[in-house]
């Protein structure tokens, strides 16, 4: 009886010691899992931080590109305004040119008319002088 009691105590002791050993292994594996999980979490946090940094950088680049686009649109509008100004100036130049043509034609007509009148007046004086010279020659 004592023999079986001791055997059962020895078997219980062996069983408990194996449980302690397996418990240590379990604890060690749990520690390793926890450590690897913390390391993976740390790596994931770093990746997330890096990705957020890249997102913020891309957002800043997008804002810069939008600002450049707005400037280009303003430049385009100012170029269109300059084109409109140039078109209006071209119309004014055409108006001045046509007015100069009309004035030139008018002054030329006045000069021709004045020349014709002077010619007629001189011819009339020449004819009267010719008649006077004939009369004076006949006397």
pLDDT at position 19: 60
pLDDT at position 62: 93
pLDDT at position 9: 73
Q: Side-chain half-sphere of 137: how many Cα atoms within 13 Å?
A: 6
pLDDT at position 22: 59
pLDDT at position 23: 62
Intervals of the chain under pLDDT 70: 1-3, 5-6, 11, 13-26
pLDDT at position 84: 85
pTM: 0.39
pLDDT at position 2: 58
pLDDT at position 20: 60
CA-only gyration radius of the chain, Å = 59
């Amino acid at each position: 009886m004592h023999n079986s009691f001791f055997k059962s105590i020895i078997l219980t002791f062996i069983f408990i010691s194996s449980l302690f050993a397996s418990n240590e292994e379990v604890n060690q594996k749990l520690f390793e899992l926890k450590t690897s999980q913390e390391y993976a979490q740390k790596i994931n946090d770093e990746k997330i931080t890096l990705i957020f940094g890249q997102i913020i950088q891309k957002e800043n680049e997008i804002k810069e590109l939008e600002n450049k686009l707005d400037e280009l649109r303003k430049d385009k509008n100012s170029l269109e305004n300059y084109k409109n100004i140039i078109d209006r100036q071209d119309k004014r130049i055409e108006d001045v040119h046509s007015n100069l043509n009309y004035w030139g034609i008018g002054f030329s007509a006045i000069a021709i008319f004045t020349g014709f009148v002077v010619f007629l007046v001189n011819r009339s004086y020449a004819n009267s002088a010719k008649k006077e010279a004939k009369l004076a020659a006949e006397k």
